[in-house]
Amino acid sequence: MSDVVRIVVAIVAGLAIYLLAVKVVRTMMAPPPPDEPDVSLLKPVDYRYRCMVCGTEVTMTASPEVDAPDAPRHCREDMTQVGVSTGS
């Protein structure tokens, strides 16, 4: 392999490492999410969701959207609404 090709490969590899490092530092500098949601914006709801991949069930009791809240995600898939919980 000629010296010119080695130099080009080294420059490209160095640039890729630099860009990856910049991305990691920017991610670490991002502000954390807020600790608590604004409770005054939440409305009471009563929905049950199930993960079709692993079977995990979630009961949603509060949401900013009363009509049709977005389904939560689990196992990288949207959960399926299985009904309104009966409250035990």
DSSP track, 40-76: GG-EEEEEEEE-TTT--EEEEEEES-SSSPPPPEETT
The mean predicted confidence, pLDDT, of the chain is 86
User: Which pLDDT belongs to residue 23?
Assistant: 96
Q: Please, which pLDDT band fits residue 85 given cuts at 50, 70 and 90? A: low
Flag whether pLDDT at 43 surpasses 70. yes
User: Which pLDDT belongs to residue 26?
Assistant: 93
Flag whether pLDDT at 6 surpasses 70. yes
CATH 1.10.287 correct for 39-83: no
Select from 45, 87, 85 the least CA-distant residue to 64: 45
